[in-house]
Chains A and B, each alone.
Chain A
Amino acid sequence: MRPVGEAALLPMANVAMIDYTLEFLTATGVEETFVFCCWKSAEIKEHLQKSKWCRHTSPNTVRFVTSDLYRSLGDVLRDVDAKSLVRSDFILVTGDVVSNFNISRALEEHKLRRKMEKNVSVMTMIFKESSPGHHARCHEDDIIVAMDSATNRVLHYQRTQGLKRFRFPMSLFQSSIENVEVRHDLLDCHISICSPQVAELFTDNFDYQTRDDFVRGLLVNEEILGNQIHMHVTTEQYGAHICNLLMYKAVCSDIIRRWVYPLTPEMNFTDDKNQSYTHSKHNIYRGVDVSLGHGSVLEENILIGQGTVIGSNCFVTNSVIGQNCRIGDRVILDGAFLWDRVHIADNVEICHSVICDEAEVKEKVKLKPRCVLSSQVVVGPDITLSEGTVISLHPPDEEEEDEDQFSDDSGVNKMESKVKLKGYNKKDVGSEGRGYLWKADDKNEEDEEEQRQSLWGPALHSEEESESDSDLSLGSEEPDSRTASPQLDDIKVFQNEVLGTLQRGEEENISCDNLVLEINSLKYAYNIGLKEMMQVLSKVILEFPLQQLDANSDSQNYFSALLPLLKNWTPLFKNYIKRASDHLNALFAIEEFFLEHDSLCTSIAKVLMTFYQLEILEEDVILNWFSLRDTSDKGKQLRKNQRLQKFIQWLEEAEEESSDGDQD
């Protein structure tokens, strides 16, 4: 029996998620657990070896299996079959399941079913009943199930994925089943009791990647394969699969509110001496050596880790605070999840946000709901982060390829060099801040609600999506960063190369023709399209003066530095900007640049003017760009810039004149 483990080391109420999973398995009577791990296996192994699971007294023998070849649940189970690790029924869970479910009844039912009809039922899925609108219902994990209410057989299993209508094939409603029950009140706990056949079936069907594939395949081919899936619904016991930050928050607060009893903080089930808590009324848990300043109020549902110091006149409610945190005076924490060694300065207000290890929040910072500060990020002082802000140490272009901004610090060194090239945006993180704004998908702003969902909800998740779709259901089990999307990589590298080329060109006074040749060869080497080419070029040139000037320079200085560059490199632009779409792309890149550098915003009119005067951009394209409607709010703001409007007005008049001239 085993969970498919993965990098579930994120602390959930100060305990790593995998510990909850292992505790659940042990408590339910599992005696042997295989942890399969494909990513950050070294850290997980280290964590497990330190934990009580690897002591001699542990009733549950934990074995650790790791391989670079594991890229999905399917791979793991095929390997299980190949090595024939299991011969009897086993429990399949992911490493981010929190549950106090007692499996024995479901297991009995499962065994009985297999006895009655030999080997027909291969899997029993565990569901928890929870009505729509329940806070622990996860949007992306929302499911709809059709079952035979007499036998608990699963007839249809589907993720709702925001569908408005659900379709059930007519074949479900055979006369043999009198009462088909359609249920939308179930939470998939991602716990399944499997027979050894499951592993064999994965081997037979090499296209199955996830459990979803398996379930779908089995249900669709039921007639052919003759296998059935059953389900067990629990109403009393707790089970949840943490797939995004919303779920993280919901489950965390459930743990503190003792819904997962006996898995409560003061039980210290991990048997770690740093994790002993005292439980007092209003669900306030305190670790050892917690100091609380004068006049500070702990309202309710609070967990404070060992060694944390809270200043005076603070107000804390519904929050989790990790070990060895320093919290200043007059701090308000409402629904905050602080991991270990977080520093919070005075007069900070944090609302429904997650702050990872060793992050620092300076004075007078305000975090609106659903913010995330990844590890070692510094924000402030005196800044307000708007709703859903995510800040990590990795530059925004880089973020798609790094796996975990919350607990990952291996990438930091690598990034250090880039940091030198690109300053932190003071607008985003404050004057003493360290970190970059992380954007989920800034081009997709048509649906605001969806946007918010993707920022906070699947924040953990969206990183994985770029890796491989098949990994979705497996939580963070994913291949390592080397396999990250090559295209993004290339653009980034290409951008650096172009930057280098231009720098050299500037220093050594290389002619534009030669620069064009060099950039062209780079373009082919990295297989860059014209569109990306245009964006990269505009961006690099616009950012060029920033390196020479210090970060606080105003737009005047910036423009005077930019002007000679633009004049020098006019042939370069002219070489690439030929069609109308190129013009537009260049304009978009310019817009993007100025959106990112708010302080330089005022010079946009001048820059455009220069482009126009140098005959790089044509007037009708600029007008066209200006009148584009489907822009973001920020873009609209930008267009309200007075100078820009004057420039546009001037352009319009100029055009009228010229067209008049044409008529004459």
Chain B
Amino acid sequence: MVGSVFFLLVVMQKSSACLSPTKIWTMQAYICIFRKQATTFLLFSYSSEVIVITRKEIQKVLNLDTKMKLDFVCISDNMDMGTADSLRHIHQKIKTDVLVLSCDLITDVDLYKVVDLFRTHDATLSMLMKKTHEPTEGVPGQKGKKKPVEQRDFIGVDDTGKRLLFMANEADLDEELVIKRSILQKHPRMHIRTGLMDAHLYCLKKYVVDFLVENRTITSLRSELIPHLVRKQFSSPMSLQQGQDNKEEDQKKKDQASLDIYSFIKEDNSLLKPAPDNSCWNDRRGDMNETLHEGKVRCYVHIMKEGLCFRVNTLGLYIEANRQVPKLLLNLGLEEPLVHLSAQVTDRGMVGSDSIVGSSTQVGEKTSIKHSIIGNMCTIKDKVKITNCIIMNSVTIEEGCCLQGSVICHNAVIEKGAEIKDCLIGSDQRLETKAKHVNEVIVGTEQLMEI
């Protein structure tokens, strides 16, 4: 349920100039699971074309009523397609520059900041990053506070913090971090940052998609294409051909000769061509030899300092995102109240302002709901205490239960007087009267895989 079903949402613009500086909200399905029977929920103020790449089963449950024109492209279930594969799959639909984002992203970033970077610098790529979120509370079913053993990313940015100069993953490095002199010659101050999370939101030039179409060996945007582009910034077109061959040959066995990104760059606007040469503007504080256009590939990154940005790809982040979303919804100015009109809540006062109650849900007397999200068609009896919980659709909770920091999936039944703390209850599970569970995962065997 909470496993990351990765699919790709491609937002395509009529022309790159159309990417107007407006707030674009993308929201992840899982959060709003009870309000909308949908996997994906997307708010997009300005009309544009959106292509959603998804799997059949998900499209079936998707029920979007937005003003946007959505174009669904389904990929078959049994094909293992990477992000780059997906983009390649729909390449004939992409006519201009493209904004790619994955559907597990929830953010309130001012998207124009990313897009502006893209446009002002005539960039090949601009992307979004955020400081890694430190989970504040424990994750249900997790024994102790074990730190996720993640490979760190090293991100090198220039002094302005916008130009992306360097990217490496700990896994690819031995004992040392190697930085080329040519980079430092042009950008003598490089900040190497760790602990940044890639939001998987990319603005890409059209020619990058063309490049992808030709380079079939690249399967993932994040782990292959983006580092490749970042590297290419500081290597010359010709030497690259060889360098790349040498470098990547050992990484992956290439059937076809690797194609150079530079051959895809089109100099379409002949009017603008002399402009950079005549300009005295310089995009960096390094040597003053050439200005902007010494390298045709340029990557930029917008690093969010504040605001909400989640990639919901773990249970912990899912819970955290759920806590944050009610605030986000309030800011958005929702058309529907947090407590759905069709919900029958006996003691309105007992429902916290940051809680959501779905449609047709019944809440009994003296039941308090704090910092929690309750789905549709649930039945919650009297004297129940719910704190920090996520309760999905059609869940029944009987009298006198006490639920804390738990996730309860669809159709679960919790009998009288159960006390549950920091647990994950799978769908269709039934907890007996006065059951006590702390920090446990209670799921059916067939669901185990998904956690």
B43 at the binding interface (Cβ < 8 Å): no
A121 CA to B311 CA, complexed, in Å: 41
Q: Which residues B326-365 have CB closer than 8 A to chain A?
A: none
Chain A residues within an 8 Å CB radius of B193: 178-180
Are A133's CB and B287's CB within 8 A? yes
Taking chain B's interface residues, is the majority helix, strand, or loop, or is none over half, making it mixed? mixed
- Mark B389-426 against chain A: 1 for CB-CB distance below 8 A, else 0: 00000000000000000000000000000000000000
- Hey, what's the 0/1 contact readout for A134-178 against B, CB within 8 Å counting as 1? 000000000010100100000000001001111111101101001
- B286 and A185 contacting across the interface, CB-CB below 8 Å: yes
Cβ-defined contact, B184 with A166, below 8 A = yes
Contacts of B192 on A, CB cut-off 8 Å?
Answer: 146, 173, 179-182
Chain A residues within 8 Å of B152, by CB: 173
Q: Taking the complex as formed, is A295 at the interface, i.e. its CB lies under 8 A from any CB of chain B?
A: no
Interface contact B194-A175, CB-CB below 8 Å: yes
A169 — which chain B residues lie within 8 A by C-beta? 175-177
User: Is B173 interfacial (CB 8 A cutoff)?
Assistant: yes
Task: State whether the Cβ of B178 lies closer than 8 Å to any Cβ in chain A.
Answer: yes
**Residues of A in contact, count (CB < 8 Å):** 26
Partner of B181 from A133, A163, A168, A183 at Cβ < 8 Å? A163
Is A262 an interface residue, CB under 8 A from the partner? no
* CB of A131 within 8 Å of the partner chain: yes
CA gap between A299 and B150 in the complex, in Å: 65
A132 within 8 A of B: yes
In angstroms, how far is the closest chain B Cβ from the Cβ of A89?
29
In the complex, which residue of chain A has the Cβ closest to the Cβ of B165?
A182
Q: Is the Cβ of A180 less than 8 Å from the Cβ of B184?
A: no
A173 in contact with B286 (CB, 8 Å): no
Q: Quick check: A182 and B189 within 8 Å, CB to CB?
A: yes
Q: Is B262 an interface residue (CB 8 A)?
A: no
| A167 CA to B180 CA, complexed, in Å | 9
Q: A111 at interface (Cβ–Cβ under 8 A)?
A: no
Say if the beta carbon of A606 comes within 8 Å of chain B. no
A427 partner residues in chain B, CB cutoff 8 A: none
The docked-state distance in angstroms from the alpha carbon of A131 to that of B159 is 13
CA distance A170 to B174 in the complex (A): 8
Tell which of B156, B170, B175, B287 touches A132, judged by Cβ atoms closer than 8 Å. B287
Question: For chain B, which range describes its interface: under 10, 10 to 19, 20 to 34, or 35 or more residues?
Answer: 20 to 34
Chain B: minimal CB distance from A574 (Å): 54
Expressed in whole angstroms, the Cα–Cα distance for A185 and B186 within the complex equals 10
Query: Does A184 count as interface, using CB distance less than 8 angstroms?
Result: yes
Q: Are B189 and A183 in contact (CB under 8 A)?
A: yes
**Using Cβ atoms and an 8 Å threshold, which residues of chain A touch B289?**
133
Number of interchain pairs (Cβ within 8 Å): 88
Cβ–Cβ contact B285 & A131, under 8 A? yes
Q: Is the pair B179, A165 in contact by a Cβ cutoff of 8 Å?
A: yes
Residue of A nearest to B161 (CB): A179
Q: A92 to nearest B CB, angstroms?
A: 26
Contact of A184 among B177, B178, B184 (CB under 8 A): B184
Contact A131 B178 (CB under 8 A): no
A170 adjacent to B177 (CB under 8 Å):
yes
Is B138 close to A, CB under 8 A? no
Q: Hey, which chain A residues are within 8 Å of B184, CB to CB? A: 132, 144, 166, 182, 184
B316 within 8 A of A: no
A165 & B286 in contact (Cβ 8 Å cutoff): no
* B25 CB contacts on chain A under 8 angstroms: none
Chain B residues contacting A167 (CB-CB under 8 Å) are 176-178
In B154-209, the 8 Å CB interface with A consists of 154, 156, 170, 173, 175-182, 184-186, 188-195
Q: Across the interface, name the chain A residue whose C-beta is closest to B184.
A: A184
Contact B181 A160 (CB under 8 A): yes
Least distance between B396 CB and chain A CB atoms (Å):
45
Which A residue sits closest to B192, measured CB to CB? A180
**Are B188 and A184 in contact (CB-based, < 8 A)?**
yes
Asked if A132 contacts B179 (CB within 8 A), the reply is no
In the complex, A51→B1 CA distance in Å? 85
From 129 to 165 in chain B, residues with beta carbon under 8 angstroms from any chain A beta carbon are 152, 154, 156
Report the bound CA distance from A135 to B49 in whole Å: 53
Map CB proximity to B onto A575-587 as digits: 1 under 8 Å, 0 otherwise: 0000000000000
Q: Tell me whether A185 and B189 are in contact (CB under 8 A).
A: yes
A172: nearest chain-B partner, CB-CB: B177
What residues of chain B lie closer than 8 Å to A164, measured between beta carbons?
180-182
Give the top 4 A-B pairs by smallest Cβ distance, nearest first. A185-B188, A133-B287, A184-B184, A184-B188
Known: A133-B289, A185-B189. 11 other contacts (CB 8 A): A160-B181, A166-B178, A166-B184, A173-B177, A180-B193, A181-B191, A182-B184, A182-B192, A184-B188, A185-B188, A185-B285
